[in-house]
Structure 1
Amino acid sequence: MLERIHLAVLREVSRQGTLTAAADVLCLTQSALSHTVKKLEDQMGTPIWIREGRKLRPTQAGAYLLGVAERVLPQLEHAEARIRQYAQGERGTLRIGMECHPCYQWLLKVVAPYLAKWPDVDVDVKQKFQFGGIGALFGYEIDLLVTPDPLYRKGLRYEPVFDYEQVLVVAGGHPLAGAGCVEPEQLADQVLISYPVAIDRLDIYAQFLMPAGVAPRRHKVIETTDIMLQMVESGRGVAALPRWLVEEYQGKMDLKAVRLGARGIAKQIFLGARAADGNIDYLESFIDMARA
């Protein structure tokens, strides 16, 4: 019979690479862990791993069980943590995943009043789910997902919380700084700076450059907003960001926001959640405060 310890062993061996390292994490002896693995393989009638030196490579059966472990264990751990919180009279932790790089500053403005309103709820922000947040929601690794590009799936719901315009940001002395708007062809000789996101998920490509068959002269990737805007201010390139974010930085940096096309690019930020969590009061309260 497949037991939780089997799934835990599969996950830790995958993470650590060896039985010895996995045994240390699981607080087991290596012999006990090896016995557990052998017993599981005997029960299942098929090998779970293939040894390659000191390393272990999962078989087809092992890879399938590892996938089960990655889905099931986070849900069990989440359930146990939630029950402990109930037992201790706590509401728990609201875990928020970010699929929107520039939204971190916006999120901070929501978190501060939220923590004041809900003193018995902690907030944890996870940014490792860039454009992979749906799996994190289904896997109970996060409770809310901040995203400008919702992917609708059964069991999930998305609430729009605010509208914004995506604009081109350039240095104050840039030749495009005084333009009312820019057309795709005007970026063909520019260095475009963006976050480390797949090109087809970047609005300036998907909604502006690609339909016109235009590519920038060069594309640079930078992870942090502050460094990106310092690069733009120093004339090292241009970027596409929300207008509200550019306006926040204009008080301390020489930057200009220019509309992308005559009609601009209109966007929305959504909060995604599991449909089954609609009765959690502190989660719904965060959505309501985010709208405000």
Structure 2
Amino acid sequence: MIKKFLKFVEIQTKITSTFAFANTLMYMLFLKQPINIPLMIIFCIAAFIFDLATTAINNYIDSKDYPEMLPFRRDVSLFLIICMLAVSTVMGLYLAFKTGIVVLLLGALCFGLGIFYTFGPMPISRIPLGEVFSGIAYGMFIPFLMVYINNPDEYIILDYKNGVLSVHFMLWPLISFLFFSLVNTFTTSNIMVANNTCDLEKDVAVNRHTLIFYIGQKNGVRVFATLYYLCYAAVIAMVALKILPIIALIFLLSFPLVESNIRVFRKEQIKSKTFITAIKNFIIVNTSYFIALTLSFLMYR
């Protein structure tokens, strides 16, 4: 039963959310931001369960004409999806109750992106925005919710007085966070870029018009490489802007390994042979980023 469930939710693909949690936690520790451990645990569990649910929804929809693809009967699969969505929703509403409307609105947006990524008359995964939304959801929204629920007044302040609602954005913390989130955002988007570049012919056959459909495989490979280069540019910029200390430049040592995988992907875009380079680079880049953040925390605490 457990093995079937893990297959249903494709547990092996949850590395994206794991790194989002780990890197954001280390970023918060480096900034000496307060951490509400109970709320953090609830958030991580809720976000992880919702991530499982979105994958299950994707598999459920894809198996509409081929029910044998599912490890469970379709009715059982649907019941499991509903249970996961219900649990994550209740936990999300509790977080919103404890922290405010910003979490409610952002949580609802993430919920919508997750559901309509593969569901509906025009799923996000079938339009050119799929690559963008996947990166933003995991790379920006989840990390921002993590930092916000622990220290809301550091980023956005809502004030209601005499019938007037005012919103104050703390620009430098938000700009710093934006730079921090770029590594997770770009590496997550690149998994989708690599997947769609390899699957272009297959996607065209099923009327799936991704970004690669419009820009072509050659440009898809260029985007793949450029997003990794931008990860390194983002960290260099963070050091230059004194968001991170100079020790964070140890992150650059991972570049030769990443460039080697980029060269492999440039030569051929075959799902069974070279898509793995996106996974390898995701792990290399985010592990190196985690190490850079950890060293920054340990040396400047």
Return the TM-score normalized by structure 1: 0.22
Decide which structure has greater helix share. Answer: 2
Return the TM-score normalized by structure 2: 0.22
Radius of gyration: which is bigger? 1
Decide which structure has greater strand share. Answer: 1
